[in-house]
Amino acid sequence: MTHLNAINPRTGVSDYSFEAASVAQVKQVVQTGRAAQKAWAASSLEHRVRVMNLFADSLVVFGDRIREALTIDTGRKKISAEEVDAVFHMTHGHAANAPKILAEVSGPSSNVADVDFIQQYVAYGVVGVISPWNFPMVLSFIDALPALLAGNTVVIKPSEVTPRFVDPLVEAIASVPELAGVISVVRGGAETGQALIENVDLVVFTGSIPTGRKIAEAAARQLIPCFLELGGKDAAIVLEGADLDRAATSIVRSAVYNTGQVCYAIERVYVDAKVHDELVQKLQEKCDSLTLNFPSVSSGDIGPFIFPQQAQIVASQLNDAVSKGARIVTGGELVTHDGGTWMGATVVANVDHSMALMTEETFGPVIPVMRFSTEAEGVELVNDTVFGLSGAVFAKDIEKGTEIASLMNAGGVSINDTELPRAITLDAEKNAFGQSGIGGSRYGAGTMLRYVRKKALIRNHGEVKPLTALAEE
Ligand code: NAD
C-alpha cells in the first residue's frame, strides 16, 4: 500500500492523506467497469442520456460538499464553484448533443453499384482518464462525459495533488445506482496511472508534456489509442490600432485567472512597437488593481499556487529573464502568508526568446511583453515555439485580426478577446498544434466520435462476382 499526503495550498500543511490504489485494485476496478460496459453500451442512447442527466442532478445535491473540498484542494473558492457548474452544464450539453452526433448513418454507395452501407459506432470499452491538479473537477470530466455518452465506461484517476474532492464526488456518483461500474474513480500517482493504462482500452490524459510522453509510451506498449491534452504557451498578438484598453483587460484576465495555472493562459504578448509603451502601461495599471486572495479565501483576486513547487518554477523563470536583461514592470515577488505562496499579477518587459519565460510553460500570473516592428515578424515570433494550444489577436479591424489568426499555429484563436474559444468550444473543433497535444478534438462533435470505433456494414443487393476468368479481371 502506498500512503500519499496532500498539502493544503493556503497553509502549506500536509493535512490530508489517502491510500493509492494498488495495481491489483486498479485491475479490479477496470474489470468491474468492463463488466458494466456491456450493458451500458447495449442500453439505448436515451437511457445513457437520462442517466447522465441524473449524474448532473447529483452534482446539485452534492455540489456544496464538492465545492468545499475543491476549495481546500486548490486554495481558491470562486473557481471551485465554477468548476462544479461547468461540469453540470457540460453534462447537459453533451447529453443534448449526443443523439444527433451518434445517429447511425446509412445509404447507398456512391461508387459501387447495388451496394449500400450502414455506418455503426462501437464504443471502445473502458476509457481511462488521467487528470491534472489545475482544474481537478473539470479536467476529470471534460473527456469522460463524451466517452460515457458514446457507450464507454470510465475510470478516472485525478491528480494526487488535489485528492479531497474525490470523497464527495464518489458519493455523488454512488447516489445514482445506474452509474455503478459506469463511472469509477481510482486514487494515486504515477504508479496508479500506469496500472490504469495497462488495463483500459483507451486512455485520455491531460497534463504536462513530459508525463504525456510517458503516457504515450505506455499506451504504445499496450497498443491502445491515447489522446493527449498537454501544455501551452499561448501568445496574444496586439496590432497597431487595436483597442488597447480592451486588449489589456482581456490579456490580464487570461493571464491571472486561476493564478495563471491554466493550459491556455496567455503567457506571451507580442505588440506592435508603436503601441508597446502604452500597452505595457495599461497592463501595469490593471495588474496593480488586483489583490491577492488572502487573508480570507473569499477576498481578493489571485489565489495561491496550488502546487507549491510551481511557485519555484515561476520564480526561477523570472530570475533567468532578469539575468538576461528583462525588466519587471510590476509584481514578480513570491509572497508567503500563513504557509501558502502567492504572486501578484506580473508584467515583464525587455524579453526575448533566449529566456525560459518566453519559451517554457510558466503556469503563473506573469505577462511578458515583447515588441515587433512588422506583422510578419509578430506572427513569426508567435509561431517560434514547440507549443500550439491556442492564442489571441487584437486588431482594430476584425477581418485583419482573422487574417492574422489564420497564420498562427494554434488550435483555437480568439479575435479581440482571449476567452472566446472557451465559450464556443462545444460547437467548434480544435486540435492542438506542435507538442500541445495529439489525438483529435476535445470539442465539437469530434470529441464524442473519437470514443467510438467506426464500423462499416457493407450490404450487396446484387450478384457476387463469378469465380471464372479470375486471371483476366
Ligand atoms: P502532470 O503531467 O504532472 O500530471 C498529470 C496526471 O498524470 C496526474 O494525475 C498524475 O498523477 C499523472 N501521472 C504522473 N506521472 C504519470 C505516469 N508516469 N503515468 C501515468 N500517470 C502519471 O501534470 P500536472 O502538473 O498535474 O498539470 C499541469 C499540466 O497540465 C500543465 O503542463 C498544463 O499545461 C497541463 N494542462 C493541459 C490542459 C489541456 O487541455 N491541454 C489542461 C490543463 C492542464
> Other CB atoms closer than 10 Å to residue 186's CB: what's the count?
23
Residue 287 designated active-site: no
What is the model's pLDDT at position 421?
A: 60
Q: Ligand 1, residues 161, 211, 263, 307: which to mutate, most atoms within 8 A of Cβ?
A: 211
* pLDDT beyond 70 at 231: yes
User: Quick check: CB of 131 below 6 Å from ligand 1?
Assistant: yes
Q: Which residues contact 348 (CB under 8 A, 6 or more apart)?
A: 318, 321, 326, 327, 328, 329, 332, 357, 366, 367, 368, 369
Distance 75 CA to ligand 1 centre (A): 19
Categorize the per-residue pLDDT at 358 as very low, low, confident or very high, splitting at 50, 70 and 90: very high
Categorize the per-residue pLDDT at 365 as very low, low, confident or very high, splitting at 50, 70 and 90: very high
Out of 75-79, 263-267, 428-432, pick the least confident: 428-432
Q: What mean pLDDT comes out for the span 227-252?
A: 98
Q: In this predicted model, what pLDDT tens digit does every residue of 178-206 receive, in sequence order?
A: 999 999 999 999 999 999 999 999 999 99
What is the model's pLDDT at position 468?
A: 77
Q: Which helix (H) or strand (E) holds 51?
A: helix 45-61
* pLDDT beyond 70 at 155: yes
User: Quick check: CB of 207 below 6 Å from ligand 1?
Assistant: yes
Predicted structure pTM score? 0.96
Distance 328 CA to ligand 1 centre (A): 29
User: Quick check: CB of 261 below 6 Å from ligand 1?
Assistant: no
Alpha-carbon distance of 153 to 57, in angstroms, equals 19
Q: How far is CA 23 from the centre of its chain?
A: 26
User: Quick check: CB of 215 below 6 Å from ligand 1?
Assistant: yes
- Its CATH architecture, for the domain 234-423, is 3-Layer(aba) Sandwich (3.40)
What is the model's pLDDT at position 425?
A: 66
Task: Tell me which DSSP letter residue 338 carries.
Answer: T
Distance 76 CA to ligand 1 centre (A): 19
Distance 470 CA to ligand 1 centre (A): 56
Residue 226 designated active-site: no
Which residue's CA is the nearest one to ligand 1's atom 43? 263
Strand, helix or coil at 91?
A: helix
What is the model's pLDDT at position 473?
A: 57
Alpha-carbon distance of 390 to 368, in angstroms, equals 17
Cell of 348: 515583464
Q: Which helix (H) or strand (E) holds 67?
A: helix 63-74
Closest CA to 259 of 349, 126, 133: 133
Categorize the per-residue pLDDT at 444 as very low, low, confident or very high, splitting at 50, 70 and 90: confident
* pLDDT beyond 80 at 424: no
User: Quick check: CB of 132 below 6 Å from ligand 1?
Assistant: yes
- Classify domain 2-230+432-458 by CATH number: 3.40.605.10
Annotated domain spans of the chain:
2-230+432-458, 234-423
